[in-house]
Amino acid sequence: MRHNGLEKPYNWMQVSTWIILPTLLLQFFFFASPLLPLAASIPCSIAVFFFGALAAYKGYTTCITDPADDHVICHLNRQNEKTFVDEEKAEEEVKYCFACETNVHSHSMHCKFCDKCVARFDHHCQWLNTCIGEKNYQYFF
């Protein structure tokens, strides 16, 4: 089971994302920016650099955040699952995931690509090669 999107196996779409983003930024700075008037070139270059760096930061942060369900993490760490549930909420709804072989939150879903349950699963992003869920949705755009 992969813990984040930067672990193997890599996806060709993920690799192309990390190649295309810097390539597009370099193309702007070397080809498009010199064609603009100086008064427009400097603010446009600053804006493109800022948003390019922001996209790289958010993509990297989304990739390194493990979106796995807390119950799955406790199960993998061989902690006592009953104690964990009692600490959170005794009346919390759980369901059993046959693939993970443990109880998970009722709003979790199993991702067939990452082979784990993800809390509030939204989708598996092929471009970042990770699941988008509750823990990393704030970084994903």
The pTM (predicted TM-score) of the whole model is: 0.75
Q: What is the pLDDT of residue 101?
A: 81
Q: What is the pLDDT of residue 78?
A: 66
Strands 102-105 and 94-97, bridge-based pairing: antiparallel
Residues pairing with 130 in the sheet: 125
CB atoms under 10 Å from CB of 65, counted, come to: 21
Per-residue model confidence as pLDDT tens digits over 33-62? 999 999 999 999 999 999 999 999 999 999
Per-residue model confidence as pLDDT tens digits over 67-126? 888 888 787 776 554 555 444 555 678 888 888 888 888 888 998 888 888 988 899 988
- Identify whether the C-beta of residue 71 lies closer than 8 Å to the C-beta of residue 104: yes
Longest dimension (CA), the chain: 66
Q: So which residues are the catalytic ones?
A: 125
